[in-house]
A and B are shown apart, each in its own frame.
Chain A
Amino acid sequence: SQELEQSPQSLIVQEGKNLTINCTSSKTLYGLYWYKQKYGEGLIFLMMLQKGGEEKSHEKITAKLDEKKQQSSLHITASQPSHAGIYLCGADRTSGTYKYIFGTGTRLKVLA
């Protein structure tokens, strides 16, 4: 079965530092989604990647999908306390009739 593995599971950084979160799939990815979740709240859509080598940015967050479409990274530049939360990657299932699977999430804490 298809699985998404995220690393690290948790991350604590000092404000202003850069950080990277990784998402690795056991199968080739079709659509790869990044979401952010504040504790006890719903998921907020950040970005979607489709093509191998694709890279997208929004404010200080950049997401990339590798050429083989099995790994994605989320990079935050000059982190701020507002970046704190849980980051989840999601993907379209490669088989079956229903859609999304999700990674276990990365908990990010930014120290002011």
Chain B
Amino acid sequence: DGGITQSPKYLFRKEGQNVTLSCEQNLNHDAMYWYRQDPGQGLRLIYYSQIVNDFQKGDIAEGYSVSREKKESFPLTVTSAQKNPTAFYLCASSPLLVRNTEAFFGQGTRLTVV
């Protein structure tokens, strides 16, 4: 079955640590996205990528980094510079970066700072 797989489902980070969230898709989609979801704030775009080896900052990129070395993979690193990383992170993909095409989402990773 085609889809988007995020791992791990739950992640705990100590203060000052970098952590990486995995996102893999086998839908052959060109575009991939990372969103952060906080209670009462909806989804906010962190980074997006249209093609391999290219990615762009979204609305809240500070403290995060990404890579797109393969079409199928778009990992997100939450760095120690991110002041409030505790949130639910969602990865999504869409066929192209064009209008009127829906995005498909992974199951999310819940990150908690301990």
Contact = CB atoms under 8 A, between A and B. Distances in A.
Contact of A31 (B6, B88, B97, B99): B99
A102 B99 CA distance: 14
B40 A48 contact: no
Interface residues of A, number: 26
Contacts of A99: 31, 33, 48, 94, 97, 99, 103
Contacts of A50: 100
B42 A88 contact: yes
Given A40-B108, A98-B45, A99-B94, A104 B40 contact: yes
A50 B100 CA distance: 7
Contacts of B108: 40-42
Given A48-B102, A104-B41, 12 more contacts: A31-B100, A31-B102, A33-B102, A42-B6, A42-B106, A45-B104, A92-B100, A98-B56, A99-B99, A100-B45, A100-B92, A102-B35
Interface of A: 4, 9, 30-31, 33, 35, 40-45, 48, 50, 88, 90, 92, 97-105
23 contacts: A4-B42, A9-B40, A30-B99, A30-B100, A31-B99, A31-B102, A35-B105, A40-B88, A42-B105, A42-B107, A43-B105, A45-B103, A48-B100, A48-B102, A50-B100, A90-B103, A92-B100, A97-B97, A99-B94, A100-B103, A103-B42, A104-B41, A104-B42
